[in-house]
């Protein structure tokens, strides 16, 4: 069986935890979009892993990990990720495969990301400064980009890098009066990337299709979340890839119809890092309660996450455009102790009610939420393993979300650890 895991909100829904759990029954885990902007947490006993480029199946010793073509690979982060796991005796030899067609994030991409954000001042997007936008822009522009397979011919790459860096330096100087970067330094780094990463670099599309033909089960791991999708999210406050389920086929060359099940991951409330509209945001003591209790600080940047109520309008939209079959609802434990809990069930925009999420920042910014309010619970639920053992109000909350999103909630998170999970 092939499954795809995708975030239904603005990222950080708990995808890493779900992928790690489901990887136990999968042969291969595939990252298909984004880059080191992602931070996927896996907690196993006392160990806490933050994966940025490596698929979250990496923690399982026998799971094959694939980094597919549409991932923008930051080799520094990837190599560090491989080393961190090696220190914990988790080796990726013979089970990590990186697409030769994946584009590489180089230092000038990170520099450009930073310079652009600084120049935008209060209008900045709040990116992770991981060079994601500039690298995807170069990919689309086609002329000034380096792919993993290009590391195979270093002589040719050296000349190309000189052309690219000359071009970038002209732009950096003209627009930002920035210091030039050195093509030689970047080339030296590329030599080391070639050494360390070429042994893992293959045609991943061929590999995946052969694996599917051979009956292997594959787990496709989305990064970010549907509302950060470049084309279908809250543009321009999005990332630069198709981070919804729609990005999976293009991201790895495997058609959507080869996926048997799409599991959407959502938090029992909503969070967002970076700028952009957020209709259910609670910039008050409720948001602070959620932030403190859920430890809502970015896995990649450490920034405090903006917190708010569950938005059934937004999640239903993600379910619709992703053809999501069922939902994994995480962080139910974080809501413990709140007297009342709200679910946004519709928006009012310019005096008109709608329950279809407008992926349009101008209209979304005007959305007033229409809420349904349910009673909270006080009991500690972090050790509950059966749905029926949850407090009745927590059970009711789950049922209200199912009703409002039209999809069954088949997995419930009650804590960060593998075993703090309820399956229905």
Output 149 or 298, the one with its CB closest to Mg ion.
298
**Which whole-number Å values give the CA distances from 392 to 12, 211, 333, 368, 396, in the listed order?**
27, 44, 14, 30, 6
Output 99 or 224, the one with its CB closest to ligand IMO.
224
- Residues near Mg ion (CB under 5 A) are 12, 39, 299
- Residue 376 burial (CB < 10 Å; 0-12/13-18/19+)? middle
391 binds, among ligand GDP, Mg ion, ligand IMO, none (CB under 5 to 8 A by kind): none
Output 41 or 375, the one with its CB closest to ligand IMO.
41
333 binds, among ligand GDP, ligand IMO, Mg ion, none (CB under 5 to 8 A by kind): ligand GDP
273 binds, among ligand IMO, ligand GDP, Mg ion, none (CB under 5 to 8 A by kind): ligand IMO
Known catalytic membership, residue 150:
no
Distant-in-sequence, close-in-space partners of 190: CB < 8 Å, separation ≥ 6: 106, 146, 151, 154, 157, 161
Known catalytic membership, residue 12:
yes
Q: Which of 66, 165, 194, 223 binds ligand IMO (CB under 6 A)?
A: 223
Output 29 or 211, the one with its CB closest to ligand IMO.
29
Quick one: angle between helices 312-322 and 392-405, nearest 10? 50
37 binds, among ligand GDP, ligand IMO, Mg ion, none (CB under 5 to 8 A by kind): ligand IMO
- According to DSSP, the β-strands at 40-44 and 368-375 are unpaired
Reference 116, options 206, 240, 254; nearest CA is 240
Output 216 or 418, the one with its CB closest to ligand GDP.
418
- Give the span between the Cα atoms of 238 and 228, in whole angstroms: 4
**Which whole-number Å values give the CA distances from 315 to 37, 210, 260, 336, 361, in the listed order?**
22, 34, 21, 21, 16
- Give the span between the Cα atoms of 252 and 154, in whole angstroms: 26
**Among 40, 52, 232, 331, the one annotated catalytic:** 40
Looking from the CA of 47 toward its CB, the CA atoms found within 13 Å total 11
Reference 344, options 294, 405, 393; nearest CA is 405
Contact 99, 69 (CB under 8 A): yes
Taking CB under 6 A as the binding criterion, the range among 33-41, 63-71, 376-384, 387-395 that sits at the site for ligand IMO is 33-41
Contact flags string 254-273 toward ligand IMO, x per CB under 6 A: -------------------x
Least distance CB 388 / ligand IMO (angstroms): 31
Q: Which of 26, 33, 37, 201 binds ligand IMO (CB under 6 A)?
A: 37
Question: What does the radius of gyration of the chain's CA atoms come to, in whole angstroms?
Answer: 21
- Give the span between the Cα atoms of 397 and 377, in whole angstroms: 10
Q: Which of 12, 20, 74, 112 binds ligand IMO (CB under 6 A)?
A: 12
Output 148 or 307, the one with its CB closest to ligand GDP.
307
* 110 scored as a contact of ligand IMO (CB under 6 A): no
Q: How many CB atoms lie within 10 A of CB 95?
A: 17
Whether omega before 232 lies within 30 degrees of 0, making that bond cis, reads: no
DSSP, collapsed to helix, strand or coil, labels residue 406 as coil
* 133 scored as a contact of ligand IMO (CB under 6 A): yes
Cα end-to-end span (Å), the chain: 19
* 329 scored as a contact of ligand IMO (CB under 6 A): no
Q: Which of 26, 33, 204, 239 binds ligand IMO (CB under 6 A)?
A: 239
125 binds, among ligand GDP, ligand IMO, Mg ion, none (CB under 5 to 8 A by kind): ligand IMO
Reference 106, options 204, 191, 229, 176; nearest CA is 191
**Among 12, 113, 229, 333, the one annotated catalytic:** 12
- Residues near ligand GDP (CB under 6 A) are 7, 11-17, 39-41, 43, 294, 299, 330-331, 333-334, 413-416
Least distance CB 177 / ligand IMO (angstroms): 23
Least distance CB 179 / ligand IMO (angstroms): 23
**Catalytic residue list:** 12, 40
Residues in contact with ligand IMO by the rule CB under 6 A: 7, 10-12, 37-40, 125-128, 130, 132-133, 223-225, 228, 239-240, 273-274, 299
């Amino acid at each position: 069986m092939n499954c795809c895991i995708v975030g239904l909100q603005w990222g950080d829904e708990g995808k890493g935890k779900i992928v790690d759990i489901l990887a136990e029954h999968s042969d291969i885990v595939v990252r298909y979009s984004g880059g080191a902007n992602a931070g996927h947490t896996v907690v196993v006993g006392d160990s806490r892993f933050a994966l940025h480029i490596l698929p979250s199946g990496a923690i399982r010793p026998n799971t094959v990990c694939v980094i597919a073509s549409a991932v923008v690979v930051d080799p520094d982060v990837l190599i560090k990720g491989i080393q961190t796991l090696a220190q914990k005796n988790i080796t990726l030899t013979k089970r990590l495969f990186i697409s030769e067609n994946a584009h590489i994030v180089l230092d000038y991409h990170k520099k450009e990301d930073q310079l652009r954000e600084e120049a935008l001042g209060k209008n900045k997007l709040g990116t992770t400064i991981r060079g994601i936008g500039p690298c995807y822009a170069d990919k689309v522009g086609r002329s000034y980009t380096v792919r993993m397979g290009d590391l195979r011919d270093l002589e040719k790459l050296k000349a190309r890098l000189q052309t690219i860096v000359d071009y970038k330096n002209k732009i950096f100087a003209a627009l930002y009066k920035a210091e030039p970067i050195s093509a030689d330094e970047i080339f030296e780094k590329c030599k080391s990337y070639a050494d360390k990463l070429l042994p893992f670099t293959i045609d991943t599309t061929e590999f995946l299709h052969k694996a599917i033909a051979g009956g292997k089960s594959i787990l496709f791991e989305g990064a970010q979340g549907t509302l950060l999708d470049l084309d279908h999210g809250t543009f321009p406050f999005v990332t630069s890839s198709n981070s919804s389920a729609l990005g999976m086929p293009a991201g790895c060359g495997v058609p959507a119809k080869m996926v048997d099940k799409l599991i959407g991951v959502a938090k029992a409330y909503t969070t967002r890092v970076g700028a952009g509209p957020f209709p259910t945001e609670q910039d008050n003591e409720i948001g602070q309660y959620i932030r403190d209790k859920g430890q809502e600080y970015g896995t990649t940047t450490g920034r405090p996450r903006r917190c708010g109520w569950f938005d059934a309008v937004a999640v239903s939209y993600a379910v619709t455009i992703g053809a999501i079959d069922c939902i994994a609802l995480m962080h139910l434990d974080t809501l413990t102790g709140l007297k009342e809990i709200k679910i946004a069930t519709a928006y009012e925009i310019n005096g008109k009610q709608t329950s279809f999420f407008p992926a349009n920042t101008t209209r979304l910014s005007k959305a007033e939420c229409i809420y349904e309010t349910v009673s909270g619970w006080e009991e500690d639920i972090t050790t509950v393993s059966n749905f029926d053992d949850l407090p009745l109000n927590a059970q009711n909350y789950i049922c209200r979300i199912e009703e409002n999103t039209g999809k069954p909630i088949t997995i419930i998170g009650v804590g960060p650890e593998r075993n703090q999970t309820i399956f229905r």
